[in-house]
Structure 1
Amino acid sequence: MKVRELAEHYELELGALYDSNEAKALFTIAAEKVLALSSGKLIMQKDIDISFINVQKLLSILNDLQIGKPIQHILEEAHFYGSVFKVNEQVLIPRPETEELVDWIISVCNTQFSVNSFESPKRLNMLDIGTGSGCIPITLKKHLPNTQVATLDVSVDAIEVAKQNARQIGVEINFITADILTFQSEEKFDVIVSNPPYIRDLEKIDMHNNVLVYEPHLALFVSDENPLIFYKAIADFAKTNLKPNGQLFFEINEYLGKETIEMLAAKGFTNIELRQDMQGKDRMVKAGV
């Protein structure tokens, strides 16, 4: 079977779940992994024959895709900010909007805190809340090596995945297994960041089945009655544990930007800034103490 023929087969068989562009993208991701070819080479070599064993591998991936399993879980990896992270059903698949949040933090640290200055680099102390795959704290440590980074999660399984990713990417992170709703510490931080659960139960109806079935609900959902429960707890923690001029960063529910800002203002945060992601959705907030 040729590359072109198998690509067409993917598009046909996945038509009930994904549109044409999504199906093509899924085939490209799978083929890049199995055939060890770049997307550019796949386009240029679409008429080359695929070996029998690789056809079987790609058809096996297709079978998993047809039952709604995310491609990242099938391949057990996800790309994030230039690194490859191990993922499984115990952690959220890293999203592009989270890359935008990380990029914002790196920019602020390089400008406001001058962490990568050659003349007088400052060693920052950072805390990430809600470790998951470790994509946020590990990426921050990788690109801001002159920092001390800790990360916290209630899930022992998620912490274990993140530890594997830290070892693979080659950074040292302080891992804390705890629930932020009850966690206390006397340590002070320059930066606290979190992408906590924020999807309300009422929003489940609009979500793709592969998220509902295969990603951890503990990391996704909050009640309709108290959707900012984690934001409030983290904000209270930050008020006590951020150093003077410290910064709090959140990824937020696109529908709750106004409510999140009002909550932070009521708790005494200053210089609150709301940013939209590349899709124009309210997605990130920065606040100072």
Structure 2
Amino acid sequence: MTIAELRQEFYASLLGRYPSEEVGSFFTILSEKILNLKRIDLVLRSNNELSENQQQEFKNAVKRLQKFEPIQYITGETEFFSLPFKVNKHTLIPRPETEELVQWILDISQTKDPANLDILDIGTGSGCIAISLAKNLTPAAVSALDISSEALKIAHRNAINNKVAITFEERDILKVSKLPKLYDIIVSNPPYVREMEKKAMHKNVLEYEPAAALFVSNVDPLVFYKAIARLAKHNLKPGGALFFEINEYLSETLSVELKNIGFNAIEIRKDLFGKDRMIKCALHE
């Protein structure tokens, strides 16, 4: 089978489940992973014959895509903030909106000496926030916590691959009574999707991404935010800031909670889709 024939078969197997543009993107991503060929190479070498193993790898990927498994889990990798990251079923797939949160932190850190910065990422998952900050704020001291030992294995591997030093620790933030030191920046992208919102979510998210990293109860959807804010109240340095990625429907409710805990200078920002997605706050002086 040639590359051209494979492409035709690949499209026929997935059209109807995905838009044509997305199928094309899948084919490009898998070709780079399996064949080590860029998009232009696929055109120039369209008559190249594929080995049996290569054909089988594509067939296996198609079967998984037909069940709506995310392409990032199939390849085992993705990109975030122009950096490579390994991902698997124990880690959320990093979103573009979270890149905006990282950029916000970098923007407010421009006037500070990275050598004096202490940063904590709570609920690090793949490590995408902590690693991106460490990469762009060298030599800041960056620490990261997560409840999942399996997620931390991936995060540790990503830190090594991206050549940054991160202090990782397995902790359940809802059971933490005190953080180890004071920080200039505490950031978290905690679970924030309410159970009631599941019906609006895509199958590839619901069936494959780790539920514990996504969902919270309808009864107390801000449980992680309140726990983290209470800890941050005692562990932010003077002039320090607390950042969260947030549920678009709960921004005002969260703002009130943060004020009640003792934070001010509360700023809510929208993401690239125009939805309330990030919040920054500081302590009363």
What TM-score comes out, normalization by structure 1 length?
0.91
Percent pairwise identity: 47
Change (3 A) 1:104 1:48: farther
Change (3 A) 1:279 1:145: same
1:33-112 correspondence runs (5 A) = 33-42=33-42, 44-45=43-44, 47-52=46-51, 53-111=53-111
Map of 2:261 onto structure 1 = 267
Map of 2:145 onto structure 1 = 152
Residues of 1 paired with 2:247 and 2:20: CA distance? 28
Gaps of 5+ in 1: 116-121
Residues of 2 paired with 1:286 and 1:247: CA distance? 7
1:99-129 CA-partner distances (Å, limit 9, x unpaired): 1111111121113x243xxxxxx42001000
Deviation at 1:36, TM superposition (A): 1.6
Change (3 A) 1:4 1:273: farther
Map of 1:123 onto structure 2 = 116
Map of 2:187 onto structure 1 = 193
Deviation at 1:67, TM superposition (A): 1.6
The 3-state SS of whatever aligns with 1:214 is coil
1:80 is matched by which residue type in structure 2?
F
Deviation at 1:288, TM superposition (A): 1.4
The 3-state SS of whatever aligns with 1:17 is coil
Residues of 1 paired with 2:220 and 2:212: CA distance? 15
1:165-176 correspondence runs (5 A) = 165-176=158-169
Asked whether the 8 Å contact 2:3–2:50 carries over to 1, the reply is no
Asked whether the 8 Å contact 1:10–1:24 carries over to 2, the reply is no
Deviation at 1:63, TM superposition (A): 1.4
Map of 1:119 onto structure 2 = none
Map of 1:23 onto structure 2 = 23
Residues of 1 paired with 2:26 and 2:122: CA distance? 31
Map of 2:157 onto structure 1 = 164
The 3-state SS of whatever aligns with 1:181 is helix
Deviation at 1:152, TM superposition (A): 0.6
Deviation at 1:266, TM superposition (A): 2.3
Deviation at 1:50, TM superposition (A): 4.4
Deviation at 1:41, TM superposition (A): 4.0
Deviation at 1:257, TM superposition (A): 1.6
Map of 1:226 onto structure 2 = 220
What TM-score comes out, normalization by structure 2 length?
0.92
The 3-state SS of whatever aligns with 1:262 is helix
Q: Which moved more, 1:234-243 or 1:9-18?
A: 9-18
Map of 2:132 onto structure 1 = 139
Deviation at 1:251, TM superposition (A): 0.7
Deviation at 1:3, TM superposition (A): 3.9
Is 1:10 the counterpart of 2:6 in the alignment? no
Asked whether the 8 Å contact 1:193–1:249 carries over to 2, the reply is yes
Residues of 2 paired with 1:180 and 1:199: CA distance? 18
Deviation at 1:134, TM superposition (A): 0.8
1:63 is matched by which residue type in structure 2?
K
Residues of 1 paired with 2:49 and 2:255: CA distance? 54
Change (3 A) 1:2 1:177: same
Deviation at 1:2, TM superposition (A): 4.4
Q: 1:208 aligns with which of 202, 212, 221?
A: 202
Gaps of 5+ in 2: none
How many equivalent pairs are there?
Answer: 281
Asked whether the 8 Å contact 1:126–1:147 carries over to 2, the reply is yes
The 3-state SS of whatever aligns with 1:98 is helix
Q: Which moved more, 1:240-249 or 1:8-17?
A: 8-17
Residues of 2 paired with 1:40 and 1:105: CA distance? 37
Map of 2:278 onto structure 1 = 284
Change (3 A) 1:99 1:46: farther
The 3-state SS of whatever aligns with 2:269 is strand
Residues of 2 paired with 1:8 and 1:285: CA distance? 46
Deviation at 1:4, TM superposition (A): 4.4
